[in-house]
Amino acid sequence: MPEFELLNEMEVEVLKELGNIGTGHAATSLSKMLNKYIEISVPEVRIINIANIHEEVYNEVVAGVLFGLEDLTGGNSGYLYIMIPKESADKLVRDMYGMDEVDEEMYGSAVMEAGNILGSAFCDASADFMDLIILPSPPNYAVDMATAIVDGIISQMAQKSDHLILFETTLNSESNIEIDLILLPEEDLFTNIMQILEGL
């Protein structure tokens, strides 16, 4: 497996563009759904070592949505993990329903829906941009510490790799909503991404 640290500036820019297109699509969909103007920041892209993940993501409680990613043959390509800090998730849910009081089930379904939109947009972007078709599984949802949600998945991948790609972006509506995305590519997907990046 190629080493993540070897990414040059150009390749990071390309990954950033992927994140940009993905979050762009997502912002448009969310904006339509919420009927609100939504601004996005240019995403930061970082390759992180799993040992340092606690320094890069929140140790606080987040609403997390986790997708398995499949390629066209049904093989596992990796995972997409969307983290919404609890405070941001509260605002998002409030915006989506237009009211303050929601029960747990409504809360979860709203966060999952937002996750679905983001996840699909991200996969669309990867198809548009890299000709790489990945399909998201139905969402898995949990409210817990950011690393606690994902460490089961990390353990699945850690046999082969010690690194993840973190896309960090902020979606701003009238209220500040922060959303972070982590792409955890399996070896094949990562190799594919790298080959495409090299071909550009």
Q: Is residue 189 within 8 Å of 134, Cβ to Cβ?
A: yes
Phi then psi for residue 110, to 5 deg, are -65, -45
Q: Least distance in Å: CB of 57 to another protein?
A: 8
CB nearer to another protein: give 9 or 55. 55
76-85 vs 61-70, strand pairing mode: antiparallel
Q: Which residues lie across from 184 on neighbouring strands?
A: 79
Handedness of CA 153, 133, 71, 143 (dihedral sign): positive
Taking the least distance from each CB to another protein, the nearer of 50 and 89 is: 50
Helix-then-strand count for the chain, H and E: 6, 8
3-state secondary structure of 158: coil
- As measured in angstroms, the least distance from the Cβ of 6 to another protein is 20
The residues that touch another protein, with contacts defined as CB under 8 A, are: 49-55, 59, 61, 66, 140, 142-156, 158-159, 162
CB of 55 to another protein, least distance (A): 7
SS3 17: helix
- The neighbour count for residue 12, using CB atoms within 10 Å, is 15
Distance in Å, CB of 193 to another protein, minimum: 23
